[in-house]
Chains A and B, each alone.
Chain A
Amino acid sequence: MTNTVPDNPVTQLSLQVNGREVALEVEPRITLLEVLRERLDLTGAKPACGQGECGACTVLLDGRPVNACHLLAVQVDGRPVVTIEGLRERPEFQALKEALVALDGGQCGYCTPGFVVAAYAVLRDHPAADEVALRWALVGHICRCNAYENIIAGIREAGRRIG
């Protein structure tokens, strides 16, 4: 989708967010993250680096974790997007939530939803992933509190409960 008309730089989009159809008009330069946060008030995905380097804005696109700050909204027209707000309703999400809370898998919490969305996808695809595989699956996520050990412990515990 492109729109090169300079005096009318707006594109019609149809997004599928958390199972809901959303029709929007956006400028082509607007990111998926801005649409989610500023237009749809889905603020679980966080802005932190703006260049796909920290994972705080992770959402699922076509079921796979992506950096929402690094995608234009026009790139996801018609494709299913799931945010932390959509995930948290799912029954299979509960083990992950409980294990992370019990094992203190987060401190300030700002990077946490991004970690959680990515961890959900990893456990869904590889419930028996070992610690090394989990760490490399999450290597694109930065936690400046460095709560990494407890995050990994929580995800491993959730994997055991799901597995």
Chain B
Amino acid sequence: MTDSLDIVGQSVTRLELEDKVLGVTRYTADLKRPGMLYAKILRSPHPHARIVAIDTSAAEKAPGVHAVLTHHDVSSFAIEGDLLVLDARLRFVGDEVAAVAAESPAAAADALELIRVEYEPLPPVFDCGAALAPGAPELHPGGNLVDGRRLVVERGDTEGAFPTAFRVFEGVFHTAAHGPVGMETRSALAEWDDDRLTVHKTSRSLHAHDRKILSNALGIPLEHVRVICTSMGGGFGNKDEGRLGPLAAFLARKAGRPVRLEYSRMEEFIAGRNRQAMVSRLKIGVAEDGAPVAIEMRSEMNAGAHVASGRNVTRRIGQGALYLYACPNARFEGASVYTNHPAGGSFRGLGAPAGHFALEVLMDQVAAGMGLDPLEYRLRFHVGPEGQPGRRTTPPGEAIPDEPVEGGVPFSSHGLRECLLSGAERIGWRERRQPNGSATGPSRRGLGVAMGIYKGGVGREAQAEIHVDRRGRVEVRVGVVDVGQGSSTILAQIAAEALQLPLDFITMVMADTAHTPPGHITAGSSTTFSSGHAVKQAADTVRNRLRERAAATLGVSDVSLSGGVFTAQGREGAALTFHQLCAALPEPVIEQVTLTPGSTDRVINSFSAHFAEVEVEMDTGRIRILRYVAAQDAGRIVNPRLAEGQVTGAVLQFLGIALREELLMDPTSGVTLNPSFLEHKNTAIVDFPPVEVLFASQPEPLAPFGAKGLGEPPVVPVYAAVANAVANATGVWLHEAPFTPKRVLQAIAQQGADRP
């Protein structure tokens, strides 16, 4: 590891921010092409139905209409295994029925009204239990249990261990569906040049998903598909999924003109990919000293009409229960269930926030039941640097999974304890926390703590290319998308540091399949770790080649490089600027790296310890957040200002989700009742106090310049930190999120807190 760093660790300015402030950044829906048409989608009024007949003749003759698309016009390729480009079977209110491309948005909307559809309504099923019951309508071949089985992962023997426990604690925890709400809605612009297709599209996975999906759906070679997403207006784990790209491409091919498709906010809420409702049943057995001896979690996720990335979502519900506390016996069982809800997908943290809500609230109940302070309980029993008890199950020489189950594998770096101690000191835990439920009066204050464990070094195959040309232009090419989190800045800092060049020498080229090597999906907080590794390795090689060339030019054995100048070692005054060296290059210096980072003997995870102070109005059930301290272990921080912004943004986003965001559906018609900002309220600028952000100090030895993942970890403990603070204030445990005043009042009524 480099001892002194010049650029990594500095709060350099976000690279594209000036363009964003000036409004010159072009997002997908800002793009136009000569002759471009506007697309609109006809959506299902039924939660479950079959299209018997569809007549598009009137729509096709409407003024300005150039193409109408139905399930008869598309290939039979299944986009995500269970999703056709268009389907005669409709599975939620808002499902895509047909699409129109016309000369104006209004003309396209008018034409939708002229499409005549005969539907055969089918019985719908909305909740998981009903969907899994015998005789339930099957939404997909093979039944409503996704993949036909429950996912089971375990360590040790929970069944054998529970009877030996001194006490067993149990609880059921619910989290509601909510919208991801990127401010930019899903958009795509498709244009054909002969049999070559270019699609600008909101995406976080151009290479790994969109390009392959378009190639398969449209039946053209992969090399004929170019996908671009150079600016995205918020990702949060969303936007690569679904029918958007293929629909735009099929329409453009049929119309013979470029087509732009742009979701409305209502479509985004209904036909985007939402965070799914989840329920977890958790059981914790403890020894006489309070130590967990067995933890078992059984979870169900309401996947909605299509599972998309839901398989991973369900798996991640269980990771906290499996790994956050040292425990020899742990088991997670997860089911993803098809229903006639709008389709879910992946959203920041996947199932981890819901899983940690259950785990960390029940652990507070364990601590209370065993007469221990919740902070002390965590300090005693959290998983330590040595990892879980038990034995390794990954074969020797193979990479340790980023969501491990096995014991016997130590963490590569482990800042959880430091986070607990620094966060507790910041909020004044030891001086100020009173026993649960001891507050009195109409408004009651309390403190809560919750921890989080999350992937910190996802080993995705990553590629990077660095080109240095004779003009001294240094291009760093990576295929990943900066979804708004700032990865272009972070990767540029890593490149500049490794190259030992000033940051403004670096030009980032990202997210265009025509100009970048294949990139992984922007998911799992993996970009800094995986793509950062590839960028650093490519930059290290380029730096060494340039130094060798400079040394040869100067006639010395070695040179130092600083501020863009090569200085001869051992010969006073001899120097060469970077640009002088480049001008004399016989050919551009090009380095391409492909690697899959990770470890064969260590777990690489990020940790969180969050502390909330709340005030609860006992008469109204309203929760006010008074203070929030977020301590994060993300290894070395590449850019403190961006990192603090990421953590602050994550916490504020999830405070809104914890307190009020919820998509409501009418239980008979399947209609989503609140698909708008008026009724699905997310965090506004006046809602919460500033988040106090702390970082642990230990760099991760296996990460590029020591940096672990940070995009998702700070969302993981938020539900639980708030719920535990409410319990401290009121003596009442919250088991259902969001914590709306109605739910808080219900909990107070049911659990019988003393009224003022």
User: Which residues of A are interface residues toward B (Cβ below 8 A)?
Assistant: 27, 29-30, 34, 37-38, 41, 43-51, 53-54, 56, 83-85, 88, 97, 100-113, 116, 135-136, 138-139, 141-152
Q: Which among A34, A88, A109, A141 is the interface contact of B685 at CB below 8 angstroms?
A: A141
Chain A contacts for B20, CB-based, 8 A: 106, 108-109, 112-113
> What are 27 A-B contacts defined by CB distance under 8 Å?
A38-B32, A47-B262, A51-B265, A51-B677, A51-B678, A54-B677, A100-B21, A101-B14, A104-B13, A105-B21, A108-B182, A108-B184, A108-B234, A108-B484, A109-B20, A109-B21, A109-B484, A112-B20, A112-B23, A113-B23, A139-B686, A143-B685, A144-B183, A147-B645, A149-B690, A149-B691, A150-B645
- Any A CB within 8 A of the CB of B24: yes
B216 to nearest A CB, angstroms? 29
Q: 8 closest A-B pairs (Cβ-Cβ)?
A: A108-B484, A44-B23, A109-B20, A110-B233, A84-B23, A146-B652, A113-B23, A43-B30
- Within 13-51 of B, Cβ neighbours of A (below 8 Å) are at 13-14, 16-27, 29-30, 32
- CA of A145 to CA of B23 in the docked complex: distance in angstroms? 17
A156 to B22, CA, bound (A): 18
Tell me the smallest distance from the CB of B179 to a CB of chain A, in Å. Answer: 10
Shortest CB distance A158–B (Å)? 11
Closest B residue to A107 using CB positions: B484
**CB contact between A109 and one of B231, B236, B683, B690 (< 8 Å): that residue:** B231
Q: Find out whether the CB atom of B645 lies under 8 angstroms from the CB atom of A104.
A: yes
| A104-B30 contact in complex given A135-B685, A152-B685, C-beta closer than 8 Å | no
Chain A residues in 8 Å Cβ range of B22:
44, 84, 88, 97, 113
Find A88's partner among B23, B184, B485, B651 (CB 8 Å cutoff): B23
Q: Check if B437 is an interface residue, CB within 8 A of chain A.
A: no
- Of the residues B17, B105, B682, B691, contact of A142 by C-beta under 8 Å: B682
Q: Is B592 an interface residue (CB 8 A)?
A: no
Chain B residues whose C-beta falls within 8 Å of the C-beta of A148 in the assembled complex: 652, 683, 685
Question: What would 12 more interface pairs be, CB under 8 Å, given A49-B676, A51-B265, A51-B678?
Answer: A43-B26, A46-B233, A54-B183, A101-B17, A101-B18, A107-B484, A110-B234, A116-B21, A139-B686, A146-B650, A149-B648, A149-B691
User: Which of B14, B104, B105, B653 meets A144, CB within 8 Å?
Assistant: B653
Task: Tell me how many residues of B have a C-beta within 8 Å of chain A.
Answer: 60
Q: Is B474 an interface residue (CB 8 A)?
A: no
B419 to chain A, nearest CB (A): 21
**Does B185 belong to the interface (CB within 8 Å)?**
yes
State in angstroms the CA–CA spacing of A106 and B691 once bound together.
Answer: 16
Chain A residues contacting B677 (CB-CB under 8 Å) are 49, 51, 53-54, 142
* B462 → chain A closest CB, angstroms: 22
B649 interface residue (CB < 8 Å to A):
yes
* Chain B residues within CB distance 8 Å of chain A: 11, 13-14, 16-27, 29-30, 32, 104-106, 181-185, 231-236, 262, 264-266, 483-486, 641-642, 645-646, 648-653, 676-678, 682-686, 690-691
Q: Which residues of A contact B29 (CB under 8 A)?
A: 47
Q: Specify which chain A residues have a CB less than 8 angstroms from the CB of B262 in the assembled complex.
A: 47
Bound-complex Cα distance A41 to B32 (A): 8
Q: Which of A44, A50, A108 has the most CB of B within 10 A?
A: A108
Task: Say whether B17 contacts A106, CB under 8 Å.
Answer: yes
CB distance from A25 to the nearest CB of B (A): 12
Chain B residues with Cβ under 8 A from A104's Cβ? 11, 13-14, 17, 641-642, 645
Contact yes or no, B234 A106, CB < 8 A: no
- Expressed in whole angstroms, the Cα–Cα distance for A149 and B9 within the complex equals 21
Given known contacts A110-B184, A139-B684, A101 and B13 CB-to-CB distance under 8 angstroms: yes
Residues of B within 8 A of A151 (CB): 685
B686 and A107 within 8 A (CB):
no
Q: Is B16's CB under 8 angstroms from A109's CB?
A: yes
B residues in contact with A46, CB < 8 Å: 27, 183-184, 233
CB of A120 to closest CB in B, whole Å: 11
Q: How far is the CB of B388 from chain A (nearest CB, A)?
A: 34
**B182/A144 in contact, CB under 8 A:** yes
Known pairs A116-B23, A150-B645; A144 contacts B236 (CB<8 A) = yes
Q: Are B678 and A53 in contact (CB under 8 A)?
A: yes
A20 to B232, CA, bound (A): 31
